[in-house]
Amino acid sequence: MAINKIVGSAEEAVADVFDGAMILVGGFGTIASCPSRLLTALSERPEVRNLTLVSNPGGFGVEIWGEHDIEVLHRTGQARKHIVSAPTNPLIVNTVEKKYRAGEVEVEMVPQGTLAERVRAGRAGLGGVLTPTGVGIAEIQDGKPVVEMDGKKFLIEKAIKGDFAFIRAHKADRWGNLVFQGTSRTFNATMAGAARVTIAEVDEIVELGELHYEHIITPGVYVDRVVLRK
Amino acid sequence: MTDTSDKIRIDEQTMALRVAREFKDGDTVNLGIGVPTLASNLVPMDREVIFHSENGALGYGQICTAGEGSPHLVNAGGQPVEVRPGLAVVDHAESFAFIRGGWLDYTVLGGLQVSEKGDLSNWMIPNKQIGTIGGAMDLALGAKNVIVVMPHNTKDGGYKIVKECSYPLTGVQCVTMVVTDIAVIRIDKRGMVLCEVAPGWTAEEVQALTEPKLVIDPDLTEIALA
C-alpha cells in the first residue's frame, strides 16, 4: 500500500495527544514559523492536561493575524511544565510569566543552543550532549555533571525526546518530505523526528517527486503526519 | 566631583554606529535584540560583513522599512531583513554549532552589568522576572569578540560597570569591549581600558560613574564615528 501521511485536518492530526504528553513545538517566536493550527486544535481539547511543552519562545499572548502561538496552551491551563529558552518578552508580561509567578507552571530555562542540541540529540539517538555553555553559571550548571575533555570543561545535558513534535513547514509530499521558507526553518527542522510522532503543518502539499531531492531539508522518515493549513 | 547629570550622552543610534565601525570585510557578526540590531543598517555600503542571526540566517541584508520584507526572513528580533546575494539559511542546531564552534568574529549584546574581569549579566534581574536567556549564553561563550552596548549607568545613576556582577551571569570573562552612552572601554590584559569618551566628557568624569578603576589608554580620544 502506498505511503500516505496526509491527514484531513489539524483536529484529526492531534486526536491522540494524551494527558501528560511531552510536546515539542517548532518555530522561533514569529507566527510565520509557528504550527498555529495544531496548537489551536489541541487547545480545543481541554481535557488533555499536564502537558510538558518544549519550545524556544514562551508565546506572545496576543493573537497575530488571528492565529495562536504556544501561549494558548498556557491560557487554557493545559501546560504543567515548559522547557524553554526565551519565555518572556520585554514588551508585555505574558501568560507563562504570570502562571510561573502564580506557581501554576514549572519553567526549565535552557540556553537556546543547548535546547537545539538536546533536541537534535533526541532525534539522533544520543543520551545527551557535552556543551561548554553554562559551565560556571549557577542557574544552568545546577548540579549537572561536569566532565573535562582535553583540558576544557563541559556540562552533560540530557537529550530531549518528546511524545509529539508539532512543526511548521512550507511544502510537503505524501511521504512527509519537507521544505521550509527562510528563517522559518529554525526549530521546525531541528525538532522533526525528535518525538515519537512528528506532525507537520504545511502551506502546500505537492506530488511525490515534485520536491527536488537536493532541496529536501527534512526527509519524510522523520515525519508521521502532514496536515494542510486551510 | 563635578556634577555630570546635565551633560549630553550619545543616543542609541550613535552607539550602534560606533559598534558598526568595528566590523571589517569578511567578519561574521551576530547582533542581539535591541540597540545591537541597529548596527546591521550602519555598516558602510562597500564593506562585506556577514550578519548571522540565531534563527539561522547567515549573510542577511539591512532591516527592511516598515511593511516591507517577508515574515519568513527575520533577524533575532523578528524584524524582516533584506535578502542579500550570498545569503544562506540553516536550522537551529546548525546555527548554534556555528556560534559555539568559534565561527563568529563578533557578537553584540545588551547588558545589565559588566564586571572588570569581563563577566556579563544580561538575562535576569532577580526577584523581578523569570528572565530570558535566549541565545546569549552560547554567544557570550562562542564569539571571538563580545561587544556589550548599554547605558553607562542605571536609571537611578547606579553602576552597571562593576567590580563583581551581582545579577545572574550570562558569561564568564567573555566581554572584550563595552560601548556606552559616554565611553568606549576595552577589556584586555591591562584590565578595563578607557579608550574613548563621548564629546565633552573627561576621563575623570567617566571614572566617577564606573565602579572599577579604569586604565586610561595613552591614545584616549573622543568617540569617533567617521
Q: What is the pLDDT of residues A39-91, one digit of tens each?
A: 999 999 999 999 999 999 999 876 667 889 999 999 999 999 999 999 987 77
Q: Which of A6-10, A123-127, B64-68 has the lowest mean pLDDT?
A: B64-68
pLDDT of residue B110: 95
The domain spans of chain A are: 6-127+159-228
A134 Rama sector, left if φ>0, alpha if ψ -120 to 50, beta otherwise: left
Burial of B36 (0-12, 13-18, 19+ CB in 10 A): buried
3-class secondary structure, A145: coil
Give me the CATH topology for the region A6-127+159-228. Glutaconate Coenzyme A-transferase (3.40.1080)
Which ranges of chain B does DSSP label H, i.e. alpha helix?
A: 12-20, 35-38, 92-100, 136-142, 203-208
Among all residues of chain B, which has the CA nearest to that of A89?
Answer: B132
Selected catalytic residue, list B12, B22, B48, B54 = B54
Please list, in sequence order, all residues whose beta carbon lies within 8 angstroms of the beta carbon of residue A29, skipping any fewer than 6 positions away.
Answer: A56, A57, A60, A69, A86, A89, B78
What value, to the nearest 5°, has the Cα angle with vertex B12 and ends A62 and A184? 40
Whether A111 sits inside 8 A of B138 (CB atoms) is: yes
- Partners of B187 in beta bridges: B192
Average pLDDT over residues A21-35: 96
Q: What CA–CA distance (Å, rounded) separates A122 from A140? A: 20
B196 is catalytic: no
Cα–Cα distances in angstroms (integers) from residue A125 to residues A120, A217, A223, in the given order: 9, 19, 16
**Is B164 near chain A, with CB under 8 Å?**
no
Chain A closest-CA separation from residue B187 CA (Å): 20
**Of all residues in chain B, what percent carry a pLDDT higher than 70?**
99
Whether B137 sits inside 8 A of A32 (CB atoms) is: no
Whether A116 sits inside 8 A of B96 (CB atoms) is: yes
Among all residues of chain B, which has the CA nearest to that of A185?
Answer: B91
pLDDT of residue A215: 97
> Position of cell 566617577?
B208
Q: At what angle do helices B92-100 and A112-124 cross, to 10 degrees?
A: 120
> Position of cell 559616554?
B182
Q: What is the pLDDT of residues B8-27, one digit of tens each?
A: 999 999 999 999 999 999 99
Chain A closest-CA separation from residue B223 CA (Å): 30
Average pLDDT over residues B84-96: 97
pLDDT of residue A173: 98
pLDDT at B45 over 80: no
Average pLDDT over residues A111-117: 98
Among all residues of chain A, which has the CA nearest to that of B53?
Answer: A183
- Report all structural domains of chain B as residue ranges with CATH numbers, in order of start: 12-176 (3.40.1080.10)
Mutate to test the interface with B, among A133, A135, A142, A179 (most CBs of B within 10 A): A133
Task: Count other Cβ atoms within 10 Å, centred on residue B157.
Answer: 10
pLDDT at B168 over 80: yes
C-alpha cell at A21: 504528553
pLDDT of residue A166: 98
Q: What is the pLDDT of residues A198-229, one digit of tens each?
A: 999 999 999 999 999 999 999 999 999 999 99
pLDDT of residue A23: 98
pLDDT of residue B226: 66
pLDDT top residue among A65 and A112: A112
The minimal CB distance from B135 to the residues A113, A188, A189 is found for A113
pLDDT band at residue B1 under the 50/70/90 scheme: low
Average pLDDT over residues B145-154: 97
**Is B134 near chain A, with CB under 8 Å?**
yes
